[in-house]
Amino acid sequence: MIKSVMVMNTQGKPRLAKFYDFQPVEKQQELIRSVFGVLCGRADNVSNFVEADSIFGPGTRLVYKHFATLYFVFIFDSSENELAMLDLIQVFVETLDKCFKNLHTILDEIIFGGQVLETSSIEVIKAVEEISKLESASNAIALVSKSVSGWRSR
């Protein structure tokens, strides 16, 4: 199971944080900080994997990828494959590359309740686009009729 997804910049400022097991705000910050502490100490030409038992409990591992000024970090337990997770980061990044908006929506399409849901960035984008299309449609209708019943009956 995937425990958490984080995106942070090279100064350790969080850009996106999602935890699939609930963590209180303070704990989240602590986790982000310790992950950053681990990451910033690593050289460029080393592996993308870190054993994270000291941060997230026994058996957890962390895969990260460094793009420009951002770290993309996935934290997961022993039921996932490190290389596969690395590719999941790739999927996420590729998707963002194609359409940079609605980060949470995109992530929700890729990971669902801590499990990998979709691994094709094209499919993800399709889903996201469909959502935004319907959203704007419902917006338009809402704006016109100022009432929801209009679009709900469609």
Footprint of another protein on this chain (CB under 8 A)? Answer: 1, 13-18, 20, 22, 24-26, 28-29, 32, 42-43, 45-51, 53-54, 79, 81-84, 86-88, 90-91, 100-105, 108, 112-120, 122-123, 127, 130-131, 134-135, 138-139, 142, 148, 152
Q: Please tell me what DSSP assigns to residue 19.
A: E
Full DSSP string of 35-58:
HHHHHHTS-TTS-SEEE-HHHH-T
CB of 44 to another protein, least distance (A): 11
The residue (of 66 and 114) whose beta carbon lies closer to another protein is 114
The residue (of 97 and 135) whose beta carbon lies closer to another protein is 135
Rg (CA), the chain: 18
The residue (of 16 and 93) whose beta carbon lies closer to another protein is 16
CB of 46 to another protein, least distance (A): 4
CB of 40 to another protein, least distance (A): 13
| SS3 at position 153 | coil
Beta strand ranges found along 77-142 (DSSP E):
111-112, 115-116
Rounded-to-integer distance, Cα 109 and Cα 54, Å: 30
CB of 71 to another protein, least distance (A): 15
Please answer whether residues 31 and 23 qualify as being in contact, where contact means their C-beta atoms are separated by less than 8 angstroms: yes
